């Protein structure tokens, strides 16, 4: 029977116990925090993202499976897989051209998933420093978008139909870190009727459009998983409510609601005890944390596990971005 995904967000003192409990079934773990340090597990995909956690010193995003996992190291990618799912982590030093570095990372990812028989990317997370800084006359996020887009084309992916859910956030320092989930079977890429698809953005957003779907709905072993890409206060292709964090948050929630409606239309259970929701909220300014935390608790209640991070967003006029994973029980 196909394996199912399990996800936990664990902070500070809980981390060791969760990792011990998951041994043999771990797909990977990503540590977030401002300081260097941690407890990598031997043979397990592990990366550190230098991004301050608001309200805690650090947290670890732990991906596991109900089936035993097999670790691997190919193409400088550390990963683990089950019969139907693959998780991988790539980390490269920064200092050169972010576009070239991104192309190289994605080239390795495509080579890895194709060779191992997991050709369908479901979700990608991208983190790198200086996302809004110029580099040779172009913003680094736009150079990143060029590298990613060119890698998709070079490896025969159809932009749109075969575009994974994704996010790209700016860290305070550190390496380019990309981690991802892939599968033997394709998911269903979903778009938001309130927005133009990112891969169809006009040229004002850079030489190459951002290459991601707004969400991806995947199924495995009776489980349904909705991967919500980084979502912000964008209507059509334009940022709205510039300078107003409260209104940007409401617009972001409206966009998440629209994506959830699309997923329900494709067979995702709407609510209930069988559904778990995990959200990461990225805030450009830490002073917005109390108000955003209160509003998200009001919006999602005890249903959601929410972590807040201080990050730079891909557009300088965006004050926050939210991404998420909704999981249903697999049996």
Q: Supply the residues annotated as catalytic.
A: 321
CB 91 within 8 A of CB 45: no
Angle at 19 between CA 16 and CA 25, to 5 degrees: 170
Q: DSSP 3-state assignment of 276? A: strand
Q: Give the E-state strand segments of 130-199 in sequence order.
A: 134-135, 138-139, 165-171, 176-183, 188-190
Q: DSSP 3-state assignment of 259? A: helix
| CB-based contacts of 6, cutoff 8 Å, min separation 6 | 25, 63, 64, 65, 66, 327
| Distance (Å) of CA 21 to CA 18, 24, 277 | 5, 9, 21
Q: Which residues of 145-169 are buried (b: 16+ CB within 10 A; e: fewer)?
A: bbbbbbbbeebebebeebbbbbbbb
CB 130 within 8 A of CB 140: yes
């Amino acid at each position: 029977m196909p394996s199912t995904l399990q996800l936990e967000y664990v902070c500070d003192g809980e981390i060791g116990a969760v990792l011990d409990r998951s041994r043999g079934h771990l797909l990977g773990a990503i540590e977030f925090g401002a300081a260097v340090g941690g407890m990598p597990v031997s043979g397990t995909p592990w990366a550190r993202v230098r991004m301050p956690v608001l309200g805690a010193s650090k947290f670890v995003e732990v991906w596991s499976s109900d089936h035993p996992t097999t670790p691997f190291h190919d193409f400088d990618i550390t990963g683990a897989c089950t019969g139907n799912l693959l998780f991988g982590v790539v980390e490269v030093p920064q200092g050169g051209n972010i576009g070239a570095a991104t192309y190289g990372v994605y080239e390795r990812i495509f080579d890895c998933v194709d060779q191992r028989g997991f050709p369908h990317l479901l979700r990608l997370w991208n983190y790198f420093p200086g996302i809004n800084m110029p580099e040779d006359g172009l913003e680094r996020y736009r150079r990143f978008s060029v590298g990613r887009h060119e890698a998709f084309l070079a490896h025969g992916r159809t932009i749109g139909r075969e575009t994974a859910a994704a996010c790209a956030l700016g860290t305070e320092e550190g390496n380019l870190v990309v981690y991802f989930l892939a599968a033997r079977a394709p998911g269903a890429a979903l778009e938001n009727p309130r927005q133009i698809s990112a891969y169809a953005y006009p040229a004002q957003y850079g030489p190459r459009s951002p290459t991601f779907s707004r969400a991806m709905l995947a199924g495995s072993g009776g489980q349904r998983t909705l991967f919500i890409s980084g979502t912000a206060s964008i209507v059509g292709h334009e940022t709205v409510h510039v300078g107003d964090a409260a209104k940007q948050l409401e617009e972001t929630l409206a966009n998440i609601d629209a994506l959830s409606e699309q997923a329900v239309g494709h067979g995702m259970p709407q609510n209930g005890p069988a559904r778990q929701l995990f959200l990461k909220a990225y805030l450009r300014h830490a002073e917005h944390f109390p108000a955003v935390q209160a509003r998200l608790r009001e919006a999602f209640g005890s249903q959601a596990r929410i972590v807040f991070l201080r990050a730079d967003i891909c557009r300088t006029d965006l004050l926050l971005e939210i991404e998420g994973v909704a999981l249903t029980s697999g049996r």
